[in-house]
Structure 1
Amino acid sequence: MKNVILLCIAFVFSVSIYAQNESQPIHVKVTGKGNPVILIPGFTVPGDIWNPLVKKLENNYECHIVTLAGFGGKAPIEFPWLPKVNQSLKNYIVKNDLQNATIIGHSLGGTIATWLATQKEIKLSKIIVVDALPASGALMIPNFNPENIVYESPYNKQQLAMDDAAFAQLATGMSKGMSLKASAQEQIKNWILQADRKTYVYGYTDYFKLDLREDLKNISIPVSIIAASKPYGSEMVKQTYNNQYKNLKNYNFILAENSAHFIMLDQPSWFLEQVQMILSSK
């Protein structure tokens, strides 16, 4: 009887721990001292990607390094995923009184940074958007309409049903377009494979539904955009960003030549210099 009771206690404890993990849309590591900088990675990517930048910043800035639920070994959460991530980051900023923080976000992280900049309840200093758009779905999906983007789609079902070998092939193909370096492509592929599959599939659905183009009118803080020139070429990239960000009153646009989506991996020294210059500017 005693053993049964102990087993029941252990079961309840394990369920409790799992529930706590499930309830955490974001996981944040804090290091350094000074003005707060929040670093949000891209889709499937752990916060560790910011380590080289953090080493440069932590002597002068308090760095809040974010990893999102379902990625980087973190437990998944219930859906909808992205709205919970966004709200949790907003709550984190308010709870920790991160007044005049700077947010640096890559890809999805840049889109999240843009969303946070539209929120009246928090006062940010500036945001740095790294190869990110306010409405990625509008670029990727013909006849874009957020209402038509749903979890239960043939494409999502196909991805969820893929065996490991087929999904690894998909991840390999995706990674090759995201960096110019073979070593970085391998790392990106591994991040995709390590991600919770359901978060990967449905998280993209959340991502593509988000359209912040009209909300850009509500942003008054300085915005710097660092955009990759590859694989589409400088002129097409400039045109895409001009179209997507046309409702933003003012922004500083910086083109990363000879770089694909993961600019911090393709042009690491240049990227660190750009971010430090933006942070030091008024």
Structure 2
Amino acid sequence: MPLTHLLKTTLSTIAFATALSSICDESVYAANIQTSATTSAQSAHIPMREEFQVGSLYVEKYANPNAKGAPIILVPGLSSGSYVWDETVKQLREGHELYVLTLAGFNGKPAINGAKLPKAKESLIDLIQSRHIDRPVLVGHSLGSAMSIWLAETHSNLIRGVFAVDGLPVFPGTQNLTPEQRKTMAEASRQQMANADAQTYATQQLRYMQATGVVNPQLAEQIAARSAKSDPVATADYMAELLMMDTRPDLPKIQVPVTVVSPYHAPDFARANMSEESKTQYYMGLVQGIPKLKLVSISDARHFVMLDQPKKFHDALMTFLQEL
């Protein structure tokens, strides 16, 4: 494929991928969770909240002494913060020790120099080991999902399962590109995103959220406003690295159960005449090779499926946790 054609099709390929509800993120449900849980006035059943940093990860820990379930690490996606999981935290904090992450450069957190995804993965391993977290479950959204699958390929011994929310081991639409084509596309994406000023970046986030992020227009505005707080250059770096990533050859090395969530909003796929079953099969083809694999389709939802369909999402998550 000629270089000029690749550059012209960079955006359309990314749009195709995200139209498949994949990889670029932000979220809502403004945090109602208490910011301090160490006061004496706090009820015993409310989990204590602690904040700390491990490498390039900013961590919010919710610890309930009475929790019986497996510990869970919640990983947001591109340009998202921990708030993407606010409703999930409410659902899980009574029964599980939770670690809710924000990656460096997102949601107002300082960016880091150098490669972003390898550092985030390294920091996630460090978090598990340094904090002696007993084989947590990884729940990742979008970029966080792709990273969780990648970690499972190399460190299944550290975790007990992955709940992968609309994020895959290869960026949808790029699965047949050569390494050189993938590199060219990634660099074109990096340059375009990194050159955006604050207003342009905010506009890009709003358009994405309205077209691909969530179904509700008001919700899209809320999410976009929070997503715009992320660093455009860092976001461009993460995105470029994500476009370069293809960990499919190592999927058979995963030794833990993996559930992949595929959202489906029929109007988005009407022009392509792609049914919910067809999209499910497409996703299945991109994760084929995982030994203990389950794919769950959630209808009437876009990329932020946990916000569009919270009940369906949390029912699927609870089923996964109960089956571990």
TM-score bracket, normalised by the shorter chain, equals 0.7 to 0.9
CA distance in 1, matches of 2:118, 2:180: 14
1:4 match: none
Alignment of 1:190-229 (within 5 A): 190-229=225-264
Residue 151 (structure 2) aligned to one of 106, 116, 120: 116
CA distance in 2, matches of 1:61, 1:82: 27
CA contact 1:22–1:76 (8 Å) conserved in 2: no
2:133 match: 98
TM-superposition CA deviations, 1:21-79 (whole Å, max 9, x none): 99841011110333310000111110122121111211111000011000111110012
Structure 2, unmatched stretches of 5+, are: 1-51, 270-274
CA distance in 1, matches of 2:82, 2:108: 11
Code of the residue aligned with 2:319 in structure 1: it is: M
Question: How many aligned positions are there?
Answer: 261
TM-score, with length taken from structure 1: 0.85
CA distance in 2, matches of 1:79, 1:250: 34
Moved more, 151-160 or 263-272: 151-160
User: How much has 1:162 moved relative to structure 2?
Assistant: 2.8
1:25 match: 56
SS of structure 2 residue aligned to 1:118: helix
TM-superposition CA deviations, 1:138-185 (whole Å, max 9, x none): 524772426852699344333333333333332222112111111221
SS of structure 1 residue aligned to 2:59: strand
1:188 aligns with 2:230: no
Code of the residue aligned with 1:41 in structure 2: it is: P
2:206 match: 172
SS of structure 1 residue aligned to 2:139: strand
Residue 41 (structure 1) aligned to one of 76, 86, 96: 76
CA distance in 1, matches of 2:155, 2:192: 40
CA contact 1:69–1:76 (8 Å) conserved in 2: yes
1:16 match: none
TM-score, with length taken from structure 2: 0.74
Moved more, 42-51 or 23-32: 23-32
1:243 aligns with 2:243: no
Q: Sort the Cα spacing of 1:151 and 1:68 in 2 relative to 1 into closer, same or farther, 3 A.
A: farther
TM-superposition CA deviations, 1:211-268 (whole Å, max 9, x none): 1111111012111111101333413321221210111123111110111110011001
Q: Sort the Cα spacing of 1:126 and 1:186 in 2 relative to 1 into closer, same or farther, 3 A.
A: same
Structure 1, unmatched stretches of 5+, are: 1-20
2:187 match: 153
1:281 match: 323
Q: Which has the higher contact order (CA 8 A, sep 6+)?
A: 2
Code of the residue aligned with 1:149 in structure 2: it is: K
SS of structure 1 residue aligned to 2:213: coil
CA distance in 1, matches of 2:186, 2:304: 30
Code of the residue aligned with 2:305 in structure 1: it is: I
CA contact 1:110–1:129 (8 Å) conserved in 2: yes
Q: CA RMSD in A?
A: 2.4
CA contact 1:106–1:132 (8 Å) conserved in 2: yes
Q: Sort the Cα spacing of 1:43 and 1:30 in 2 relative to 1 into closer, same or farther, 3 A.
A: same
Which has the higher Rg, Structure 1 or Structure 2?
1
2:173 match: 139
Code of the residue aligned with 2:227 in structure 1: it is: I
2:97 match: 62
User: How much has 1:89 moved relative to structure 2?
Assistant: 0.4
1:162 match: 196
Code of the residue aligned with 2:279 in structure 1: it is: V
